Amino acid sequence: MYISTKIFLKMLSILIPTYNYNVTPLVQELYRQAMQTAIVFEIIVLDDCSTEAYITNSRVENVLYLQNDINLGRTLTRKKLAETSKYNTLLFLDADVIPVSDSFISNYIPYLNTETVVLGGIAYVDQIPENNKELRYKYGRLREEKTAEERRKNPYGSVLSGNLFLSKSIFLENNYSESDNLYGLDIYFSYRLYQNNANIVHLDNAVYHIGLENNDVFFRKTLSAVASRKQLLTDAKGIENINGLLKHYNRLKKLRLTGIVRFFFTVTEPLLKKMILKKDPNLFYLDIYRLGYICNLK
């Protein structure tokens, strides 16, 4: 009797880089959902040399916990996860998320074994954020939480790797791999996809981002991301189609106005920072600060 093997062609590697975060609730939910489908799957958690003991040995079939001997950073940890994975379709998730829908895994199944980059989106729980986390929460709600329809208007400019479904070959081809002393490399990955004219699909298949940094930490990470963008992508052809900050910076540079912006940034920087880090932060001031900061960087 002939038995179809098509079911065994549906294979998925779910990959989670983590650092100082308890991923157990996420892994349990992903495992529960994956077991309800007809796919072959693995879940690999790679701890990036955490300073706190969150990772424990798992005896659950298909779930593997690994640990870096040294801290590699998020980008190289994701690369290591991809290289370690057994299957050719990958689902990357940040450690501090949880699926919005009970059909989160099954919603991705139609795209298994394709050369399509699928982005499900990021969402935020509708509640008052904890004290000193207002900036990250407000930025997430206003800048990251977008419907698939909204993201399709600028498909390459709406790539957030915290919920990313794609083939292993596409990921390894476009992931930054020179070093990992940089922060905020989602924009580099987005630009590489744009360069290579990757086929992108945006879905309403979000995860809640629940692990919010406090205001000071997020502010510092934001500035690190600005520095990375200037270092890697300032002169990249077509970058204005991907990133608004670099679009405005290059326009100022073309008009030879960066010196004036640098001067006003130096004068107003303390006030701008105060407005950004206050209890009810204003993201307009964050935009102005980032533009002044990138002009001020050498």
pLDDT digits (tens, 9 = 90+) for 74-127: 888 999 999 999 999 999 999 999 999 999 999 999 999 999 999 999 999 998
5 part of a folded domain: no
The CA-based dihedral angle spanning residues 118, 122, 123, 129, taken in that order and rounded to the nearest 10 degrees: 170
Phi then psi dihedrals of residue 288, to 5 deg: -65, -40
Residues 193, 231: one domain? Answer: no
Q: Quote the domain boundaries for residue 110.
A: 10-212
Residues 177, 237: one domain? Answer: no
- Are the CB atoms for 276 and 286 separated by under 8 Å? yes
Across all residues in the chain, what is the average pLDDT? 92
pLDDT for residue 7: 44
Q: For position 174, which CATH number holds? A: 3.90.550.10
Residues pairing with 91 in the sheet: 14, 165
219 part of a folded domain: no
Residues 174, 245: one domain? Answer: no
Q: How confident is the model at residue 58 (pLDDT cuts 50, 70, 90)?
A: low
Q: How confident is the model at residue 193 (pLDDT cuts 50, 70, 90)?
A: very high
Residues 86, 167: one domain? Answer: yes
217 part of a folded domain: no
Please say which residue of 212, 238, 257 terminates a domain: 212
| Percent of the chain with pLDDT strictly greater than 90 | 82
Please say which residue of 212, 240, 273 terminates a domain: 212
**Domain count across the chain:** 2
3 part of a folded domain: no
CA 135 to chain CA centroid, Å, is 18
pLDDT for residue 5: 42
